[in-house]
Structure 1
Amino acid sequence: MAIQNNILLKIRDMKDSMTPVERMVAEYILANTEEIPHLSIKSLAQFSRTSDASVLRFCKTLGYSGYRSFIVSISASVGSMDEEQKDEYTDIQPGDDLNVVVSNISYNNMKSIEDTLSIIDRSAVAKAVQALRDTNRIVFFGIGASGLVCMDGEQKFSRINKMCHAYTDGHSQLTAATLLGKGDVAFFVSNSGDTIEILEALEITQRAGATSIALTKFNKSELADKADIVLSISTPEVTIRSGAMGSRIAMLTVIDILFAGVASAEYPNIKKYLLKTHNILAGKHRR
């Protein structure tokens, strides 16, 4: 399994949202992972055709105070990536045998979950769980495939007597955002983090004083920059829809983690709600 806080995965996922100069550093690192731990900041700047200052800014973009701490993280990640090098995400090709499709989709989904666990901020997860525990009103915002993740969140948290709803179109999202206030939680789901409707709703909820949680790809997006709590997923670099499938599975896993975190911490209080909802559904199944 991938190690926690794998910086190489973070670089891979952030690369496309970096500045052109930062991307040059990122691309050199990803293409030459074995040699990076042995390079000085001057050497890395020279080989990536940038400058010492650019490399230092790159390190700070990734959350490091300096080059030395960045290199320590690189060294810790290289071994893990070496073990997984043969196990990269595999895109689905037209005409693939069904057995190949079954294997590749299953592996990509598993790897999306594993890679997400290696980059997600555990302290952010704890903050999100606490915010969800403290509120009785949760509103989920997501468009398209992200809306399906929101609907899953609504279904789960409704079972423990949280007042919640998923809004999956732009107009209803703006209306719902306007009605939120202090003590409410606005939960935004967007892989890109740049969906216009989501950003408009985010601005409204924050003006109203609601706590905002973002579930998004690890990148430098406006959603990640502005949300109060950010939960990042790692997604594969593939072209056909298997990439979107992997990101959806990773997001659903994060929803499961949050729900289980809240339910576990509040179990004495919410046990009765879980039993009631289970019993009523079980009764339907017997008919």
Structure 2
Amino acid sequence: MAINDNVLIKIRDRKDSLTPVERMVADSILANVEEVPHLSVKGLAQLSKTSDASVLRFCKTMGYSGYRQFIVSISASLGSMEEDQKDRYTDIQPGDELSVIISNISLNNSKSIEDTLSVIDRSEIARAVEAIRSCSRIALFGVGASGIVCLDAEQKFSRINKICHAYTDSHSQLTAATLMGKGDVAIFVSNSGSTADVLDALEIVKKNRVKTIAITKYTKSELADKSDIVLSISTPELTFRSGAMGSRIAMLTVVDMLFAGVASAEYQNVKRYLAKTHNVLAGKYRK
């Protein structure tokens, strides 16, 4: 289950990957959030111009066993969504004052982390931490902004003596994927979950029986469907002007969770590695 479950954020993020009929239910819910908790299955079906069966299928798609459980979650999410409306993601606008930019970027980053906590599964984090602890080596695959996240993870895990390397271009990714085997862990970072180079590497490592972890947006995607462990993030739907800022912050937060989880579980061994690397780096800068 998610750390801070908010079904309305899940619906928002997954809407574009739903079937046309499911999207009609999703749109109706998001447009009538105050009214929905008071509706029966038939009432929501009429509101969304679908059928009772379509509404129940939608609940199942969103991870709920029945309509009542779904409606209870909707009601619980309403308060946080009211706060969300007050503090909405804000895109970069031409000519913004620097003070406005500073405020908006800080808010967007905070919201990305907060919303990610609503969709990421605590049990999946635990599985990922255990997989990393028990593996022979870690390989990370990502391009562009996602590649930067991979490099951050490489730096962190290397400091605690984990054999770890980030691969951020298609040629090195294919080579690394080919040489991985059972006992290794491959971490794939892609906001969209459809990056061609990343998916090519995923196909190769799966044939080699490598444990796979995906860090990707909370939506239906090929990467999420084919990975053993999925760590979902939530990001705003803004224009190209914002680039990948929100998704990068959310992904870096997930990397920090994994690193801290591994380091905490292995603290007696890890602390000496952290001390050694700290001392050697501190000595370099004192010279």
The bucket for the TM-score relative to the shorter chain is over 0.9
8 Å contact from structure 1 (residues 108, 242) kept in 2: no
Query: Match of 2:166?
Result: 166
Query: Match of 2:151?
Result: 151
Query: Match of 1:187?
Result: 187
Provide Cα deviations, 1:203-228, integer angstroms capped at 9, x if missing partner.
Answer: 11111111000000000001111100
8 Å contact from structure 1 (residues 92, 240) kept in 2: no
Query: Match of 2:282?
Result: 282
Shift of 1:83: 2.7
Query: Match of 1:231?
Result: 231
The CA distance in 1 between the partners of 2:42 and 2:18, in whole Å, is 21
Query: Match of 1:206?
Result: 206
Query: Match of 1:260?
Result: 260
8 Å contact from structure 1 (residues 3, 80) kept in 2: no
Structure 1 SS opposite 2:166 = strand
8 Å contact from structure 2 (residues 3, 120) kept in 1: no
Query: Match of 1:72?
Result: 72
Structure 1 SS opposite 2:50 = coil
The CA distance in 2 between the partners of 1:257 and 1:82, in whole Å, is 28
The CA distance in 2 between the partners of 1:253 and 1:3, in whole Å, is 14
The CA distance in 2 between the partners of 1:12 and 1:262, in whole Å, is 32
Structure 2 SS opposite 1:182 = coil
Provide Cα deviations, 1:228-286, integer angstroms capped at 9, x if missing partner.
Answer: 00000010121144362011001001101110110011011122211111111111111
Shift of 1:142: 0.2
The CA distance in 1 between the partners of 2:25 and 2:188, in whole Å, is 31
CA RMSD of aligned residues (A): 1.3
Structure 2 SS opposite 1:259 = helix
The CA distance in 2 between the partners of 1:182 and 1:265, in whole Å, is 23
The CA distance in 2 between the partners of 1:106 and 1:79, in whole Å, is 22
The CA distance in 2 between the partners of 1:52 and 1:246, in whole Å, is 37
Unaligned 5+ runs, structure 1: none
Shift of 1:3: 7.9
Shift of 1:196: 1.3
Question: Which amino acid in the other structure matches residue 39 of structure 2?
Answer: L
Structure 2 SS opposite 1:85 = helix
Query: Match of 2:248?
Result: 248
Structure 2 SS opposite 1:96 = coil
The CA distance in 1 between the partners of 2:215 and 2:21, in whole Å, is 27
8 Å contact from structure 1 (residues 3, 77) kept in 2: no
Structure 1 segments of 4 or more deviating over 3 A?
none
The CA distance in 1 between the partners of 2:3 and 2:138, in whole Å, is 32
Provide Cα deviations, 1:11-39, integer angstroms capped at 9, x if missing partner.
Answer: 01111111111111111111111111111
The CA distance in 2 between the partners of 1:286 and 1:201, in whole Å, is 42
Shift of 1:92: 1.2
The CA distance in 2 between the partners of 1:190 and 1:58, in whole Å, is 26
Equivalent pairs counted in the alignment come to 286
8 Å contact from structure 1 (residues 235, 243) kept in 2: no
Q: Which is further off, 248-257 or 66-75?
A: 66-75
8 Å contact from structure 2 (residues 3, 122) kept in 1: no
Query: Match of 2:218?
Result: 218
The CA distance in 1 between the partners of 2:83 and 2:40, in whole Å, is 25
Question: Which amino acid in the other structure matches residue 84 of structure 1?
Answer: D
Q: Could you tell me the TM-score, scaled by structure 2's length?
A: 0.97
The CA distance in 2 between the partners of 1:40 and 1:47, in whole Å, is 10
Structure 1 SS opposite 2:86 = coil
The CA distance in 1 between the partners of 2:8 and 2:243, in whole Å, is 19
Structure 1 SS opposite 2:72 = helix
The CA distance in 2 between the partners of 1:34 and 1:243, in whole Å, is 33
Unaligned 5+ runs, structure 2: none
Query: Match of 1:47?
Result: 47
Question: Which amino acid in the other structure matches residue 250 of structure 2?
Answer: A
